[in-house]
Amino acid sequence: MKFRAYLAISADGYVASPDGGVAWLDSYQGENYGYNEFLQQIDAIVLGRTSFDQSLTFGDWSYPDKHTFVLTSHPIESPPPNTVAWHDGVEKLVEHLRGMSFHRDVWLFGGPQSIHAFRELGAVDAYELYVIPVLLGGGIPMFHNSDSLSWLHLTDHHAFPDGVVRLVYELGSG
What digits encode the pLDDT tens for the residues 74-130? 999 999 999 999 999 999 999 999 999 899 999 999 899 999 999 999 999 999 999
- Under DSSP, the state recorded for 80 is P
Cα(136)–Cα(119) distance, integer angstroms = 24
Q: What average pLDDT does the structure give for the chain?
A: 93
Supply the pTM of this predicted model: 0.92
b or e along 154-167 (b: 16 or more beta carbons within 10 Å of the residue's beta carbon)?
eeeeeeeeeebebb
What does each C-alpha distance from 108 to 77, 150, 162 come to in angstroms? 22, 17, 26
Domain ranges of the chain: 3-8+32-153
Q: How confident is the model at residue 30 (pLDDT cuts 50, 70, 90)?
A: confident
Specify the pairing of strand 83-86 against strand 67-71: parallel
C-alpha triplet 20, 88, 144: angle, nearest 5°: 40
Class of domain 3-8+32-153: alpha beta
